A and B are shown apart, each in its own frame.
Chain A
Amino acid sequence: MSNKINTIGIPSEEEIKKAQIDFSPRCTAAGRVNDKETQKMVEYILNFARKHSLFVLAYGTGCGAIEIPATMTSRYDAERFGIRGAATPRQADVLLITGYLSTKTLKRVIRVYEQMQDPKYVIAFGSCTINGGMYFDSYNTIKALDRYLPVDVYIAGCMPRPESVIKGFIKLQELIQNGNAGNGECYRDNLDWYRTNQQKIIKNWDFPDEYNW
């Protein structure tokens, strides 16, 4: 096989791994072994607590924010999983990217993400964050979010319905329990790589030089 990735049909597992390494070499949390035996007991209990109290930053971009009221209110009632809103980035655990991001919004989102306290998680909604979706040829929206921010869970769809949103959250809870979620530390360690990518598309860069938030 040539080294061109998945030209026909669905890629095999090796090809996916290779593509992930090529494409997003940083902050793929999967692979950390952290099950009950190897994990410290304190970590285990902390993770258990974290997974049942996910404070979601009340922030929405793109079309997907419209699914959030439906997910939170009585019909789907996300609060039974411990998911609820938080008013400011510093109080929040989860950042939802609910759709396409223009470069202008991306700048604000990065700022918000950096202000959040560890442990912090990112859930990205919809095909726009995965591969550009119907904005694939737009001059002003990014096409692959994990180049600019570490993403824990992607939810496919255009737009995903509240059922899928809840499924995404449950997946995140699973990852948290296994100790595989939360890339804040990794983001800090690989800041250079992320900064290079971010600065390539954000033209009027005026962030502080040092990691000082």
Chain B
Amino acid sequence: MDLIHNLKEVFEIDAKIKNDFQIEVEAKKELVSSILLYLKNQHGFIHLDHMSCVDWIEDEVFELVYIVWNPNTKKTVLLHTKIDRNKPEMENIDTIWDQANTYEREFREMYGIEFPGLVAEREFILEGWTEMPPMRRDFDTKKYAEETYATRPGRENAEDVREKIIKRTGEEIPDFAKKYSRD
């Protein structure tokens, strides 16, 4: 295919055909913005579908995925890149697509990835958040929730409690529900 050949020629990267509509590319983080610009201007991938981030805590990397779409050929390119988890920094691409600004703000808040030159309020979805960015996998959300929010004591087993409720409230089990009785 033309695109795959050109990518090899210009950037020396190997693109894989995933299926009829998707092409997968893996690149170094320095190349990402040039590849995206190249795809947009030369190959008609004018639409940024989505950006997402995966936390590979075992490999100490964040994986960023850029998904761009060509409305004429209906093809999608998935561009993967890996950045260091301990010093997460990535190039700002909101000069190529304005909507990237919103995604990058979210990454900054939820994963703590810095985008030098990104012009946006630091506070986005969370308000007054002082802990570690909550989408990172080493953030223990259950522990945090238990410490922060009051919990109500609850049942600890799966006993059929309808008899007891009936006795207490004087209600009756309706006929249709009787067949679900455990005994």
Chain A residues with CB under 8 Å of chain B are 5-10, 13, 19, 23, 103-104, 107, 130-132, 136-144, 147, 197, 200-204
Counting CB contacts under 8 A, is B165 at the interface? Answer: yes
Knowing A13-B168, A136-B145, A203-B127 are in contact, say whether A131-B161 is a contact too (CB < 8 A). Answer: no
Which chain B positions have C-beta within 8 A of A10?
155, 159, 161, 164-165
Which chain A positions have C-beta within 8 A of B168?
13
* Interface segment out of the listed B7-15, B31-39, B99-107, B128-136: B128-136
Which chain B positions have C-beta within 8 A of A23?
150, 152-153
Are A6 and B155 in contact (CB-based, < 8 A)?
A: yes
Which chain B positions have C-beta within 8 A of A131?
151-152, 154
Chain B residues with CB under 8 Å of chain A are 125-131, 134, 139, 141-142, 144-145, 148-157, 159, 161, 164-165, 168
* Bound-complex Cα distance A193 to B153 (A): 20
Knowing A10-B161, A13-B168 are in contact, say whether A137-B150 is a contact too (CB < 8 A). Answer: no
Knowing A132-B149, A144-B151 are in contact, say whether A204-B144 is a contact too (CB < 8 A). Answer: no
Are A144 and B164 in contact (CB-based, < 8 A)?
A: no
Which chain A positions have C-beta within 8 A of B165?
10
* Bound-complex Cα distance A132 to B128 (A): 21
Q: Which 3 A-B pairs have the closest CB atoms?
A: A203-B128, A204-B128, A137-B142
Contact partner of B150 (CB less than 8 A), chosen from A5, A140, A197, A204, is A197
* Bound-complex Cα distance A131 to B155 (A): 11
Which chain B positions have C-beta within 8 A of A141?
149
Are B141 and A137 in contact (CB-based, < 8 A)?
A: yes
Which chain A positions have C-beta within 8 A of B128?
202-204
Contact partner of B151 (CB less than 8 A), chosen from A6, A8, A107, A132, is A132
Which chain B positions have C-beta within 8 A of A104?
125-127
Which chain A positions have C-beta within 8 A of B125?
104
Are A9 and B152 in contact (CB-based, < 8 A)?
A: no
Nearest chain A CB to B73 CB, angstrom units: 38
Are A6 and B159 in contact (CB-based, < 8 A)?
A: no
* Bound-complex Cα distance A85 to B11 (A): 61
Knowing A9-B157, A9-B161 are in contact, say whether A139-B151 is a contact too (CB < 8 A). Answer: no
Are B127 and A143 in contact (CB-based, < 8 A)?
A: no
* Bound-complex Cα distance A13 to B165 (A): 10
Are B159 and A143 in contact (CB-based, < 8 A)?
A: no
